[in-house]
Amino acid sequence: MSSTARQPFTGLFPVAPTPFLEDGALDLEGQRRVMDCMIDQGVDGICILANYSEQFLLSDDERETLTRLCLEHVAGRVPVMVTCSHFSTDIAAARAKSAAGQGAAILMMMPPYHGAALRADEKHIFEHFQRVSEAAGIPVMVQDAPLSGVTLSVPFLVRMARELELVRYFKIETPQAAAKLRALVEAGGDVIEGPFDGEEAITMMADLDAGATGTMSSALLPDLLRPVFDHHRAGNRAEAAKAYAHVLPLVNYENRQCGLRAAKTVMQEGGVIGCDRVRHPMEQIHPATREGLLELAREVQPLALSWGK
């Protein structure tokens, strides 16, 4: 696929949570409602099976079920990004090919790692992304996150973008992400098609200032991040900063106190899903933390807090 033949992906690409029933089984109807709510939030795309989707607690069969369900239910209303990370290149490539065949618009993948010490070197990381992107035939976003323990240098990321036509999107979640985004954009120029940030938008303003063209928050409040992005893109930084300051207490509380549980809790409160359960060995949100989260959410009223009521 030629890079000139596809529309660059930009804007809000939040991560969809994976809802469970009280007994821990997949809540498939709840998943459909999550996707509908996110589309109503005005997103530019949706990412599924990411870390904030609890992908590390899903079986292979559950992954296939969720991929099929989400792509069929969204039905092209917005682009869907499917995460296909795995240490095995063959498994990652098979996941990627399957997702692309079912209608995924773009993939996301971390560099190969397993545990604290089993990682690939740059040669094999390059080959990993090369083989996966060739198997899928659609764009692949590199997820540069501390969770992997893999250091991805700016020169190496730029080399991948220059030599692998389908690997030109980058989600930067490292400490001082803005500095890395700025360096990536400056060094790579036009081959960096999609510099994105993550971490629930906790560094969104700085990252937009550094040249980010997209952001990947949770599904908690993308509708309230929309004016931040739109004002910034229009060159009205003062209004973007004002909109960001309005939601920053909630963004900060999610990032530092709740993690992936926040979106589920707000969606349960808002009638999107029936249960905010996370799977063991993750710990359920503490009642006091839950109330603190909802107190801040009520002050700014994200759509997820009322969508199902």
Catalytic (active-site) positions: 171
Q: At what angle do helices 287-300 and 237-253 cross, to 10 degrees?
A: 160
Q: Which residues make Cβ contacts (< 8 Å) with residue 202, sequence separation at least 6? A: 251, 252, 255
